[in-house]
Amino acid sequence: MDERRTLYPEFEPYRTGMLEVGDGHSLYWELSGNPEGKPVVFLHGGPGGGSSPSHRRQFNPDKYKILVFDQRGCGRSTPHASLEANTTWHLVDDIETLREKVAEVDRWMVFGGSWGSTLSLAYAQKYPERVTELVLRGIFLFDESEVDWLYRRGGASQQYPDGWDEFVAPIPDEEHGDLVTAYRRRLTGDDRAVQLEAAKAWSKWEAVTVTLLPSPDTEDHFTGDDVAVAVARIENHYMANGGWLKEGQLLWGASKLRGIPGVIVQGRHDCCTPPAAAWALKKAWPEVELNIIPDGGHLYSEPGVLDGLIRATDRFAG
């Protein structure tokens, strides 16, 4: 096997800013790499996860013009953890606004992992003429079975029973039948202490399921106050509303992707977004290249997953 590829060396954005997108929301964005290079937009996970400096390093800075931004309510975007006018379709329109007003390009590559894969598919199916390629990781289609896998007993709880017990601990037994709703009441309530307790429990459960091996650093990041509140409130908001997608919508809409080159990088042992969704998408979109990583979990930073992603971006760099 060839040596696995890893992140490009650190580099800084050449432009940053805030973009008003309406509804009281202002998005943090940054452009990095080559201003004359191949345009790409990076869509982070969550919803509510925010971007990090290492995200831009998945692209060759000599060849790509890289737009990274924080979606509504998270990261450096404002207002923090806001649920108002925060839906999948608001975010899809935000991507178009960023393309026109910030990147100033006609078409671009779309790259997204986890929730970012959901958003990438929704954007590409609404604006296929704007997408040159798709690179996706950890496919999440927002079908009911995927939400149940994470938030009902019998799914990921079987793999992480210890983490599950911590997740349900803040919720009385009589509310365990609908944990998304139970958490929603606490995350949107006025009691700050209750909200923070719920946010940290929700976000820690995510940190448990996304790592192939235990990662104290990942747990620390997800349970920091600001990150936990944004991730938990926004993610729960989306889960409670089915992502504003009809059941199976991203699969039956896959016909709109015909002609768009695509690569999916999927960890075999991904317990957050199991491989079944990537397999279903491959069957609905036969042209896409599906790479299942034998020693991969969910996170982009795992060696096999990262190798697959960078091989894809290098191939499409032109």
- Beta-bridged to residue 218, according to DSSP, are none
Cβ count near 125 (within 10 Å): 18
Structure confidence by residue, pLDDT tens digits, 228-242: 999 999 999 999 999
> Which one of 243, 261, 288 terminates a domain?
243
Under DSSP, is residue 108 helix (H, G, I), strand (E, B) or coil?
Answer: strand
40 and 135 together in one domain: yes
Under DSSP, is residue 110 helix (H, G, I), strand (E, B) or coil?
Answer: strand
Task: CATH number of the domain at 136, please.
Answer: 3.40.50.1820
Q: Distance between CA atoms of 141 and 243, rounded to whole angstroms?
A: 9
With a CB cutoff of 8 Å and minimum separation 6, the contacts of 125 are: 250, 253, 254, 256, 257
Burial of 93 (0-12, 13-18, 19+ CB in 10 A): middle
Is the CB of residue 292 less than 8 Å from the CB of residue 275? yes
23 and 103 together in one domain: yes
What's the pLDDT score for residue 1? 53
Containing structural domain, residue 165: 145-243
Structure confidence by residue, pLDDT tens digits, 72-128: 999 999 999 999 999 999 999 999 999 999 999 999 999 999 999 999 999 999 999
What's the pLDDT score for residue 214? 85
- Beta-bridged to residue 273, according to DSSP, are none
Containing 274, the helix (H) or strand (E) segment is none
Is the CB of residue 116 less than 8 Å from the CB of residue 92? no
225 and 215 together in one domain: yes
Is the CB of residue 102 less than 8 Å from the CB of residue 67? yes
The total of structural domains in the chain comes to: 2
As a whole number, the mean pLDDT across the chain is 97
> Which one of 222, 243, 264 terminates a domain?
243
- Annotated catalytic sites, by residue? 114, 270, 298
Q: How far is CA 250 from the centre of its chain?
A: 15
Structure confidence by residue, pLDDT tens digits, 21-65: 999 999 999 999 999 999 999 999 999 999 999 999 999 999 999
120 and 32 together in one domain: yes
Q: Distance between CA atoms of 109 and 260, rounded to whole angstroms?
A: 10
With a CB cutoff of 8 Å and minimum separation 6, the contacts of 244 are: 87, 88, 89, 238
φ, ψ of residue 274 in degrees (nearest 5): -60, 160
> Which one of 228, 243, 258 terminates a domain?
243
Burial of 314 (0-12, 13-18, 19+ CB in 10 A): middle
63 and 129 together in one domain: yes
Cα dihedral sign, 205-170-147-90: negative
Q: Distance between CA atoms of 67 and 15, rounded to whole angstroms?
A: 10
